[in-house]
């Protein structure tokens, strides 16, 4: 089986869903108790509708984002997952996502060994995490080849 990287070999959405399912099956990811109640950004009106899976999807997305970059901190993730806030008739403005959620995701990924603290700040992907992500990318790519 050829080696695949998460890089650009597989579509992001397919990879994130597959890795989230892997994290959920593994059962090691520590989920905060408030995931059913919390909004993911102050710019959102409602919490996520998929109350049991959104934390796994966010963790998979964060892991992929860190894989593609050298190191990422909570502030960059807040900007990435933020969005526009509806201000009625006034122009929309960007609003950062919740730092608490992104911090808890990074801490949970760090606890299971997917990411580690980078020497210059932020988090970077660990060798074990890179191995898992590449394996999932290979599985997703194999499924795509079978469908064609």
Read off the DSSP letter of residue 95. E
Distance of CA 82 to the CA centre of its chain: 13
HSE-CB at 9 with a 13 A cutoff on CA atoms is 18
**SS3 (DSSP) at 137:** helix
Task: Write out pLDDT tens, residues 99-125.
Answer: 999 999 999 999 999 999 999 889 999
Domains (range + CATH), the chain:
12-147 (1.10.10.10)
Confidence (pTM): 0.88
Place of tokens 């520590």: 30
Averaged pLDDT score across all residues of the chain:
88
- How does pLDDT run across 51-69, given as a tens digit for each residue? 778 999 999 999 999 999 9
Question: For residue 60, how many C-alpha atoms fall within 13 Å in the half-sphere facing its CB?
Answer: 26
């Amino acid at each position: 089986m050829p080696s695949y990287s998460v890089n650009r070999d597989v579509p992001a959405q397919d990879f994130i869903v597959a890795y989230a399912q892997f994290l959920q099956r593994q059962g090691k990811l520590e989920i905060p108790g408030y995931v059913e109640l919390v909004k993911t950004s102050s710019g959102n009106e409602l919490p996520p509708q998929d109350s049991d899976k959104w934390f796994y999807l966010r963790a998979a997305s964060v892991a992929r984002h860190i894989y593609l970059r050298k190191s990422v901190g909570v502030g960059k993730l807040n900007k990435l997952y933020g969005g526009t806030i509806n201000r009625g008739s006034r122009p929309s403005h960007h609003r950062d996502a919740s730092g608490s959620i992104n911090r808890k995701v990074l801490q949970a990924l760090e606890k299971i060994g997917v990411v580690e603290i980078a020497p210059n700040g932020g988090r970077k992907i660990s060798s074990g995490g890179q191995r898992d992500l590449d394996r999932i990318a290979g599985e997703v790519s194999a499924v795509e080849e079978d469908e064609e």
